[in-house]
Amino acid sequence: MIVKFDEIPEDGLALHLTETAWIPGEEISWQGPVDASIFLGKNGERILCEGSLRLTLLLDCDRCLEQFAAPLETEFKIDFELLPADLAQQDFASEHECSEAEMDVVYLEEPLIDIHATLAQQLYLAMPEKRLCGEECQGLCPVCGVNRNLEQCDCAKKSGLSPFGVLARLKH
């Protein structure tokens, strides 16, 4: 889905997407409805993009490897600006030391905004780094590999090196 700069009216363009075609499906699993809103406003030569994204991700727990549902909600602001054609990208970058306000400026070679690519990028940025099905997740036993949230094994007792073993020795 491409929006051209000159397709954006003076009072802005609001988009609401419930389709899922923009989600990189090979890398990201999700369930249920997907809700994405984008508002494109004009500010001189700049296009100001404000958006929000809401969906439920299906992630694999870092500890027990089980899949779990993680609701994700994110908001973003991006300024799109056209890269001046007569300026080499490198010169341009060195002249424009990134100030705080310019942090989220995206320079485009053509006056086109790829809405799907923008949403996919924002989704990647919002993906949680730490993925736990719950803070209490016991993970897998490093010895026999059972999911310790579901099953108990004797490996900890047998090894004698575990906290359980130490505790047992202290008691006696």
Give the binding site for Zn ion (CB under 5 A).
Answer: 61, 63-64, 133, 137, 141, 143-144, 153, 155
| Pick 101 or 161: Cβ nearer Zn ion | 161
| Residue given tokens 């006696």 in the structure block | 172
CB 96 within 8 A of CB 88: no
Shortest distance (Å) from residue 92 CB to Zn ion: 47
CB 20 within 8 A of CB 43: no
CB 23 within 8 A of CB 115: no
| Pick 21 or 167: Cβ nearer Zn ion | 167
Shortest distance (Å) from residue 130 CB to Zn ion: 11
CB 38 within 8 A of CB 51: yes
Shortest distance (Å) from residue 84 CB to Zn ion: 50
| Pick 1 or 141: Cβ nearer Zn ion | 141
Compute CA 95 distance to the chain's CA centroid, rounded to the nearest angstrom. Answer: 31
Distance CA 3, CA 40 (A): 9
| Pick 104 or 151: Cβ nearer Zn ion | 151
Shortest distance (Å) from residue 23 CB to Zn ion: 24
Shortest distance (Å) from residue 29 CB to Zn ion: 16
| Pick 34 or 61: Cβ nearer Zn ion | 61
Phi-psi region of 133 (alpha: psi -120 to 50; beta: other; left: phi over 0): alpha
Instruction: For residue 90, give Cα distances in angstroms to 58, 76, 83, 87, 110.
Output: 40, 26, 11, 8, 17
